């Protein structure tokens, strides 16, 4: 069951990354899919992309 959950999370992360790459308002985003707003490193900010949260930089 955990492998299925991991596969779904990986797919969501990939989709979030593609959306971020094509969305000029979010800049460059990490290929991560967090269920809650993450604490991002300095120079990065949290962005909600559908059901995922990730960290982005730039604009």
pLDDT at 27: 82
pLDDT at 2: 54
What are the two backbone dihedrals, phi and then psi, of residue 22, each rounded to the nearest 5 degrees?
A: -100, -5
pLDDT at 6: 45
pLDDT in tens, 1-58: 555 554 555 555 555 554 444 455 668 999 999 999 999 999 999 999 999 999 999 8
Structure tokens given for 9: 């999370």
HEC sequence for 18-54: HHHHHCCCCCEECCCCECCCCCCCCCCEEEEECCEEE
CA neighbor of 12 nearest in space, from 58, 57, 53: 53
Domain range annotation of the chain = 2-57
What separation, in Å, do the N-terminal and C-terminal C-alpha atoms of the chain show? 38
pLDDT at 22: 42
């Amino acid at each position: 069951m955990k492998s299925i959950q991991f596969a779904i999370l990986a797919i969501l992360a990939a989709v979030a990354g593609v959306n971020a790459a094509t969305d000029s308002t979010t800049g460059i985003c990490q290929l991560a899919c967090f269920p809650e707003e993450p604490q991002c490193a300095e120079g990065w900010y949290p962005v909600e992309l559908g059901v995922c949260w990730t960290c982005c930089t730039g604009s």
